[in-house]
Structure 1
Amino acid sequence: MSNKTYKTLDLFAGIGGIRMGFERAGFETVFSNDFDPYCKPTYDLNYKTAQLAVGDIQKIKSSSLPAFDILLGGFPCQPFSVAGYRRGFLDTGRGDLFFEIVRILRDKKPSAFLLENVKNLKSHDKGKTFKIISDALADLGYHVKVKVLNSMEYGNVPQNRERVYIAGFKSKKAHDVFEFPEQTPLTKSISDILEESVDSKYYYNDSTLYKQLKEAIKSPNTVYQWRRAYVRENKSGVCPTLTANMGMGGHNVPLVKDKKGIRKLTPRECARLQGFPESYKLPKDLPDTKLYKQFGNSVTVSVVERVARQMMKALQTNNNYVYREPVKRTTRVLRTAA
């Protein structure tokens, strides 16, 4: 077994959810990047090294990046999600950013990578999108494994959140050793993530919607959603997928009932649903709307940590040196700006 400290590159970093999972598993972060300047106060408040470099990844030259072993990237999912209307690679500036990952993998040749996206990525455009992605990664010489993991089944958090995880290794041996984690029992309930004392600003008691909400929201152990014209009860006993438009007047605002009335989830509760620890700090001067978006866009830390531990085991395998040569295709899929 190797005692090497594996270094990671944190791309499309958001507020550092993937980074946190990997650092908990023993990895070291050497660089982080995201395009959203509002993520920087949250990110930098929690990480004192390799703080967030805000900027367009298309303008970051591979040669300027520090040496690293594993590329991490939760590349923009909206173009492939139902909520994002599934525009895919046609969503210029977001959907095509995957090719920036390809560029950096090609230029820097790290030992491994982990990519995360919405479940619909696999079925988008009748599977054509995912084939392009798979072919591009194979062309670079990576052995890839893919699995859809639900946070409530693999992260012990009461959130129904299905995401596809793509793990790639240069080493055939590491690829063969790597296995995604097994399902784990869900022991936490909605009541476990709720705060005891919540500011009045989160309550709908004085809202014009209160009468309608009160008639529909009965159980204190259930998460509801306001769907513009009606209330939806989530009977599964868990929270539906947190989204980026939470708290912004959208139709996916999660609602709960407590002793004081009916309210939306707080940013801290959203952090708990995403597996962030209590030690994770929230900026006091950042609007809640930004925090909701950040946690809605984030990953479930507890899921990522379990995947990261499995990747660490694979990378530490003896004889981790069997590399796959890049493939030359007549039709190239690499399209980058930098």
Structure 2
Amino acid sequence: MKRNYKVASMFAGIGGICLGFKRAGADIVWANEIDKFACITYRENFGGNYLVEGDIRNISVEDIPDFDILTSGFPCQAFSIAGYQKGFKDERGHLFFETLRILEGKRPRAFFIENVKNLVSHDSGKTFRIIYDALKEAGYHIRYQVMNSMEYGNVPQNRERIYIVGFINKEECNRFYFPEPIPLTKTIDDIIDKSVKQEYKYYYDSSSKYYDALKENMTKEDRIYQLRRVYVRENKSNVCPTLTANMGTGGHNVPLIRDKYGIRKLTPRECLLFQGFPESFRIPESVSDTQLYKQAGNSVTVPVIERIALNMILVMKDFDSKRKLADESEDLDTAEIAL
């Protein structure tokens, strides 16, 4: 009887990586997240039977069930070009070694890691070399690639991330390839319905210190703009700029549009749609907009994850099928000799 491959998810957030692997046919058997608000959203959509809320550093390897694939979206702020780029000097940068601890303790067949593009170049490449060498020393064969959501997920968001995939079996790694680019057919108008008036709280009016600058600079309805504290920037590529975790905390990196009713922020729902989450993804009423913006910005582009997960699982299934045929052939040869 065939079974689905089992996935354990570290730094699960609201479940973007889990959703991608689930769509690819995997079963999520364990997940961990420290942020209590992200856990509320995760449980709303996946249930809470296997989600462990708390600090991964306090979780023993022995308390994690067996699984085939480990996924990890360890915090990227330590390496982000938008942050202070402290890397391993930042406490969050140390959390990669928690991923390494679980890999070495559980020895899963494969792993999947997502992080910011700047991880590759941080500290003249030294940070990535430490990570790469540590994963190799743990016994894994590795492939990695920087991919943009608008090129690999048919999602109109300019979002570059590095994806790292590893297998214990060298043959499986050799057979694995990252997905090819696909045409971007979706536009911002497929996600944003400018004819629908949103809640008043999302609109800017004359009481805002930014209103005059927004009114002067935001002249087109077919564009997304960004408020960057002291200026307004038009995204001329006609896609959504990279969503960030701090876009709901004030005037920094806020994606804005002009609709038929005025100038407004993207709603949390629209931000999730720009990450490739389905309309059916539930948003808890008890979670504030500030937290929802943070969750969307910290999450992943689901269709990109799904495509990578599919390629991983296809390689694993193909290898298992060939190994089964080889075993059956060997058993047949043994039976014939016995006769």
Q: TM-score w.r.t. structure 2 length?
A: 0.92
Which residue number corresponds to residue 199 of structure 1? 199
Distance 1:320 1:121, change over 3 A: farther
Which residue number corresponds to residue 34 of structure 1? 33
Runs of 4+ more than 3 Å apart: 319-322
Tell me which amino acid in the other structure corresponds to 1:95.
G
Which residue number corresponds to residue 304 of structure 1? 305
Does the 8 Å contact 1:151/1:300 carry over to 2? yes
Tell me which amino acid in the other structure corresponds to 2:266.
L
Which residue number corresponds to residue 329 of structure 1? none
Q: Deviations over 1:181-218 (max 9, x none)?
A: 01011111111111433111100024232222111001
Q: Matches of residues 1-338 of structure 1 in structure 2 within 5 Å?
A: 3-48=2-47, 50-92=49-91, 94-195=92-193, 196-206=196-206, 207-318=208-319
Does the 8 Å contact 1:44/1:51 carry over to 2? no
Tell me which amino acid in the other structure corresponds to 1:301.
V
Distance 1:190 1:287, change over 3 A: same
Does the 8 Å contact 1:149/1:162 carry over to 2? yes
Q: Deviations over 1:291-327 (max 9, x none)?
A: 00000000000100000000011111236899xxxxx
Query: Which secondary structure state, in structure 2, belongs to the residue aligned with residue 317 of structure 1?
Result: helix
Higher mean displacement: 202-211 or 166-175:
202-211
Measure how far apart 1:40 and its partner are: 1.2
Q: What is the rounded CA distance, in whole Å, between the counterparts of 2:311 and 2:49 in structure 1?
A: 24
Tell me which amino acid in the other structure corresponds to 1:80.
F
Does the 8 Å contact 1:148/1:164 carry over to 2? yes
Measure how far apart 1:250 and its partner are: 3.6
Query: Which secondary structure state, in structure 2, belongs to the residue aligned with residue 14 of structure 1?
Result: coil
Q: TM-score w.r.t. structure 1 length?
A: 0.92
Measure how far apart 1:52 and its partner are: 2.7
Higher mean displacement: 61-70 or 51-60:
51-60
Q: What is the rounded CA distance, in whole Å, between the counterparts of 1:269 and 1:51 in structure 2?
A: 28
Q: What is the rounded CA distance, in whole Å, between the counterparts of 2:171 and 2:100 in structure 1?
A: 22
Q: What is the rounded CA distance, in whole Å, between the counterparts of 2:321 and 2:94 in structure 1?
A: 32
Q: Deviations over 1:35-85 (max 9, x none)?
A: 111111100000025443111101100011001000001110000001221
Q: Deviations over 1:255-278 (max 9, x none)?
A: 001000000000000000000001
Measure how far apart 1:177 and its partner are: 1.0
Identity of aligned residues (%): 57
Q: What is the rounded CA distance, in whole Å, between the counterparts of 1:244 and 1:320 in structure 2?
A: 42
How many residue pairs are counted as aligned between the two chains?
Answer: 320
Measure how far apart 1:284 and its partner are: 1.1
Query: Which secondary structure state, in structure 1, belongs to the residue aligned with residue 29 of structure 2?
Result: strand
Query: Which secondary structure state, in structure 2, belongs to the residue aligned with residue 79 of structure 1?
Result: coil
Q: What is the rounded CA distance, in whole Å, between the counterparts of 2:156 and 2:224 in structure 1?
A: 10
Does the 8 Å contact 1:115/1:167 carry over to 2? yes
Q: What is the rounded CA distance, in whole Å, between the counterparts of 1:121 and 1:297 in structure 2?
A: 16
Does the 8 Å contact 1:80/1:87 carry over to 2? yes
Say which structure is richer in helix: 2
Which residue number corresponds to residue 335 of structure 1? none
What is the CA RMSD across the aligned residues, in angstroms?
A: 1.5
Which residue number corresponds to residue 330 of structure 1? none
Query: Which secondary structure state, in structure 2, belongs to the residue aligned with residue 13 of structure 1?
Result: coil
Q: What is the rounded CA distance, in whole Å, between the counterparts of 2:68 and 2:127 in structure 1?
A: 27
Q: Deviations over 1:4-60 (max 9, x none)?
A: 310000110000000000000000001110111111110000002544311110110
Does the 8 Å contact 2:197/2:261 carry over to 1? no
Unaligned 5+ runs, structure 2: 324-339
Query: Which secondary structure state, in structure 2, belongs to the residue aligned with residue 116 of structure 1?
Result: strand
Tell me which amino acid in the other structure corresponds to 2:69.
I
